[in-house]
Amino acid sequence: MRATGLLAGKVAIVTGAGRGIGRSHALALAREGAAVLVNDLGSGITGTGADPGPAETVAAEIRALGGAAIADTTDIADWDDCKALIVRAVAAFGGLDIVVNNAGITQYGSIETETDAGWNRTLAVNLTGTAALMHWAARHWASQGPALGRAIVNTSSPAGTNPPPGAISYVASKAAVAAITASAATELAHLGVRVNALAPMARSRMTDAVPKLDAIMRPPETGFDRMSPDNIARLMLYLASPDCRFTGRVLGVDGDDIYLFEGMSAQTHISNRGAPWAHDGLTKALLAVDPQDKAWMIAPGLHVSPGAPRQDVLDAFEKIERGETVQLWKPIDI
């Protein structure tokens, strides 16, 4: 571990740092000279349980390499408890420069099957935990006055920027993280704080739990490991470093590919030239817009476009109720 480096003398907090991407973040920061508070509740991917082992293991790993680190098991889902992370980092290392909001959980379920407990726990960890730590860091920095070199790196997800079905609370939380990143970047600029977010594609306990993703993300026998968490940490390190020259951005990472998201941009614009729309005119104008490309599943294995003729859909329902096989539309894998 280097006594000097890109971040020598800096103090960082990394949440969810006991395993996976968070561990890579903590080690990358330490290798560049930062002192690191390693936060991890040690829960499962759905946010249940607790284990102090992961946080202490990573902190001990950093110290064994000659770096400075302490372990922390605060549950970031509690707004007021997040203040303790700031207090501990400042007390242990004399200040705070970098916050990496990495902790996250998921519940696999649709809007139909989601539960109150699953929804609330997912948003509490992924969204409230991110916002709360940003809040207490901002309060600390405000008490110290403006200074250059401060950075917050949040964690959104490709599931937040391009939401898939099957994890409704997770996609909601990650889309919200992208939104508050842009908002906080403007609010905290006067304190010298840059706020950016990652949308990572890499191996984690979440991907391990999905057989289709686990198969895609296994390490190759030889060559470049596109799905290594270390690829995410490299971009995080740039965003946390003095070399970063922007704020309020969301960047996707997939191996060596980096994507710059442009927010919820409106790619189509239709004007009625200052006059209120009539229904028929609006209907005609919107014919120029591509049909909805998401599919409806009206029965197991049967997906139809929302643009399908209404009578065809009704006929399909009747055939299904009679036990007939419907082959009007080719199933779509969504």
Q: Assign residue 132 the CATH number of its domain.
A: 3.40.50.720
Residues 6+ apart with CB under 8 A from 129: 15, 76, 77, 82, 101, 103
Selected catalytic residue, list 169, 174, 204, 241: 174
Q: Does 87 share its domain with 221?
A: yes
Domain with 306 in it: 279-321
Question: Could you tell me the two tokens for 100?
Answer: 């990496």
Decide if 268 is inside a domain.
no
The answer to whether residue 71 scores a pLDDT higher than 70 is: yes
Q: Does 150 share its domain with 255?
A: yes
Residues 6+ apart with CB under 8 A from 128: 76, 77, 79
Q: Does 161 share its domain with 291?
A: no
- Asked if residue 66 lies in contact with residue 35, where contact means CB atoms within 8 angstroms, the answer is no
Give this prediction's pTM: 0.82
Helix intervals (H) in the chain: 20-31, 53-64, 83-93, 116-123, 129-144, 158-161, 168-188, 205-208, 211-216, 229-240, 279-285, 310-321
Decide if 272 is inside a domain.
no
* Separation between Cα atoms, residue 314 and residue 310, nearest integer Å: 6
Decide if 332 is inside a domain.
no
- Asked if residue 27 lies in contact with residue 233, where contact means CB atoms within 8 angstroms, the answer is yes
3-state secondary structure 98-167: EEECCCCCCCCECCCCCCHHHHHHHHHHHHHHHHHHHHHHHHHHHHHCCCCCEEEEEECCHHHHCCCCCE
Q: Does 140 share its domain with 233?
A: yes
CB burial class (10 A; 0-12, 13-18, 19+) of residue 271? exposed
Q: Does 315 share its domain with 221?
A: no
Decide if 306 is inside a domain.
yes
Q: Does 156 share its domain with 91?
A: yes
- Count structural domains, the chain: 2
Question: 303-329, pLDDT tens digit by residue?
Answer: 555 555 656 666 766 776 677 765 544
157 is catalytic: yes
Residue with the bigger pLDDT between 221 and 262: it is 262
Decide if 235 is inside a domain.
yes
CB-based burial, 57-68: b 16+ in 10 Å, e otherwise: bbbebbbeeebb
Selected catalytic residue, list 24, 43, 157, 241: 157
259 is catalytic: no
Q: Does 148 share its domain with 239?
A: yes
Amino acid letter, residue 194: R
Q: Does 126 share its domain with 155?
A: yes
* Separation between Cα atoms, residue 318 and residue 327, nearest integer Å: 13
The answer to whether residue 131 scores a pLDDT higher than 50 is: yes
228 is catalytic: no
Q: Does 125 share its domain with 70?
A: yes
Q: Does 230 share its domain with 284?
A: no
Decide if 1 is inside a domain.
no
Question: Could you tell me the two tokens for 43?
Answer: 């829960």
Question: 132-177, pLDDT tens digit by residue?
Answer: 999 999 999 999 999 999 999 999 998 888 888 889 999 999 999 9
Q: Does 100 share its domain with 35?
A: yes
Decide if 247 is inside a domain.
yes
Selected catalytic residue, list 170, 204, 228, 241: 170
Decide if 327 is inside a domain.
no
Q: Does 182 share its domain with 74?
A: yes
Q: Quickly state the pLDDT bin for 299 (edges 50, 70, 90).
A: low
